[in-house]
Amino acid sequence: MPMDVAAILKSIEASGLATRIRESLFLFPLIESTHVIGLALVFGTIAIIDLRLLGMASTQRPFTRMASDILKWTWAAFALTALTGSLMFITNASVYYHNFFFRTKMALLVLTGMNLLVFERTAGRTIHGWDRDPSAPRSGKTVAALSLAIWISIIVMGRLIGFTTSRAVVAPPPAGVNFDDFLGTPSGGGTSATPPHD
Amino acid sequence: MICLRILGWAGLDQTLRQTTSRFGPWLTGGLWLMLATGILMVIGEPVRELVTFSFWLKMFLVAVSTLIAASFQINRRKHERRWEETLMQRRSIQGLAILTFLIWLGIIILGRLIAYDHIWGPWSPATKA
């Protein structure tokens, strides 16, 4: 990693805001909870739109009417997730920056933006021709199916970040302790412990 | 979406019956899915889930919100016309829609706080262990 990126990440982590969030008992859990609320709203509202494009729900409702009704909530929720996501990132920037699942999540977010752009350039151009049809043309349906798949993957990646960047540390068991003895299973089966995670 | 329709903040081109028949089955399906995955998580890590204040408060709120949703559906089916014409405009009903929305926000927050139960201090059984 170039030195300047490492230095930037360290300075982000050392900022007053990041330190305050990191050292507070309540701030990080509350920011994370708000992030989850935002994500639930983003996915829920996007799913409503995608299912309409696929012709699986709300087929009687004109697409443009529905989109103008719902997309404002999607954008507001997206802004909330971006803000809370950034606040979580700054608390542990160098760890998140190197995390595979974080990077995949960011790449998927870019991909979902590109998918939206494809919609605007294809089915979006002829919207008034199929607005009242029960489903979108093939290009619109493809974009909708991809959108659902990408957003589900984003949620999975987000959860996996929590399972792989936990700051919790579990001390190793004392030497000579065999967990199989406690479980009443024959010894020699190896030990297993649940990995720490948020 | 049902709460937003009652409040008049979305779906105004749809009747309340159309809105509930569109989103009701997804709501019920979602609840069953969460129940199934929730049970699997409790079986997987019973102590981590059950010995927390957040979990039990969340379960209480889930029970309250399910009760509100079931009562709403029964009453709406019984008095369909009244709901469309007058009941939706009542302040008490709109207040209940806001309360339901807030309860669900609380459920999401508490779900996340199970992992951070120590923030409840003496209320958390985990801190006594």
Q: What is the 3-state secondary structure (H, E, C) of A120-135?
A: HHCHHHHHHHHCCCCC
A20-34, A83-97, A157-171, range with the lowest pLDDT: A157-171
Q: What is the Cα–Cα distance from A191 to A159, expressed in whole angstroms?
A: 26
Nearest to B10 among A32, A33, A69 (CB): A69
- Count the alpha carbons within 13 Å of B100 in the hemisphere toward its beta carbon: 20
Each residue's pLDDT tens digit, A147-182: 999 999 999 999 999 889 865 444 454 555 554 554
Interval A107-125 mean pLDDT = 96
Partner-chain residue, chosen from B11, B105, B119, that has the shortest CB–CB distance to A29: B119
What are the residues whose beta carbons fall under 8 Å from the beta carbon of B32, sequence distance 6 or more?
Answer: none
Residue count of chain B, please give it: 129
Residue A50 lies in a domain: yes
Q: Tell me how far apart the alpha carbons of residues B55 and B123 are, in angstroms, rounded to a whole number.
A: 12
Q: Which long-range contacts (CB under 8 A, 24 or more apart) does B13-18 make?
A: B13/A61, B13/A65, B13/A69, B14/A61, B15/B84, B16/B76, B16/B83, B16/B84, B16/B88, B17/B76, B17/B80, B17/B84
The reply to whether the predicted model has a pTM over 0.95 is no
Do residue B22 and residue A198 have CB atoms under 8 angstroms apart?
no
User: Is A183 a domain residue?
Assistant: no
Residue A132 in domain: yes
Q: Could you identify the residue written with the tokens 């009453």?
A: B75
- Do residues B48 and A95 make contact, with C-beta atoms less than 8 angstroms apart? no
Hey, are the CB atoms on A73 and B118 less than 8 Å from each other?
Answer: no
For position B48, what pLDDT does the model report? 83
Q: Specify the pLDDT at position A195.
A: 41
Residues in chain B within 8 Å Cβ distance of A29? 112-113, 115-116, 119
Tell whether A133 is covered by a domain. Answer: yes
Q: Please check whether residue A187 lies inside any domain of the structure.
A: no
Q: Which tokens in the block code for residue A42?
A: 């983003």
Name the residue among A95, A96, A66, A82 with its Cα closest to residue A34: A82
Per-residue pLDDT averaged across A15-19, rounded? 96
Tell me, what amino acid is at A96? Y
- State the residue range of the domain holding A165: 5-169
Specify the pLDDT at position A182: 45
Answer yes or no: are the C-beta atoms of B49 and A194 closer than 8 Å. Answer: no
Would an 8 Å CB–CB cutoff place B14 in contact with chain A?
A: yes
Query: What is the rounded end-to-end Cα distance, in angstroms, of chain A?
Result: 27
Q: Residue A131: which pLDDT band, with cuts at 50, 70 and 90? A: very high
The verdict on residue A88 lying in a domain is: yes
- Res. B49 pLDDT band, cuts 50 70 90: confident
From chain B, pick out residues whose CB is under 8 angstroms from the CB of A33: 108-109, 112-113
Secondary structure element (H or E) that encloses residue B95, with its range? helix B91-113
On whether any CB of chain A is under 8 Å from the CB of B119, the answer is: yes
Q: What is the pLDDT of residues B61-71, one digit of tens each?
A: 999 999 999 99
Contacts of A61 in chain B (CB under 8 A): 13-14
Q: For chain A, how many structural domains are there in total?
A: 1
A175 found inside a domain: no
pLDDT category of residue B123 using cuts at 50, 70 and 90: confident
Higher pLDDT, B12 or B127: B12
* Residue from B107, B119, B123, B127 to probe the interface with A (highest A Cβ count within 10 Å): B119
Least confident segment among A1-5, A14-18, B83-87: A1-5
Average pLDDT, stretch A138-143?
Answer: 96
When scoring B26, B33, B116 by the number of chain A Cβ atoms within 10 A, the one with the most, hence best to mutate, is B116
Indicate the SS3 state at residue B105: helix
| Tokens found for residue A194 | 């649940």
Is it the case that residue A88 has pLDDT exceeding 60?
yes
pLDDT score at A193: 40
Summarize pLDDT for A58-79 with one digit per residue, the tens: 999 999 999 999 999 999 999 9
B interface test, pick of A69, A91, A170 with most B CB neighbours within 10 Å: A69
CA atoms within 13 A on the CB side of B69: 20
**Which residues touch B90 (CB under 8 Å, ≥6 apart)?**
none
In a domain, A189, yes or no: no
User: What average pLDDT does range B16-32 have in this prediction?
Assistant: 93
Looking at residue B90, what is its pLDDT?
Answer: 94
More confident of the two residues A175 and A189: A175
DSSP for chain A reads --HHHHHHHHHHHTSHHHHHHHH-SSHHHHHHHHHHHHHHHHHHHHHHHHHHHHTSS-TTS-HHHHHHHHHHHHHHHHHHHHHHHHHHHHHTHHHHHH-HHHHHHHHHHHHHHHHHHHHHHTGGGGHHHHTTSSS--HHHHHHHHHHHHHHHHHHHHHHHHHHHS-----PPPPTT--HHHHHTPPTTS----PPP--
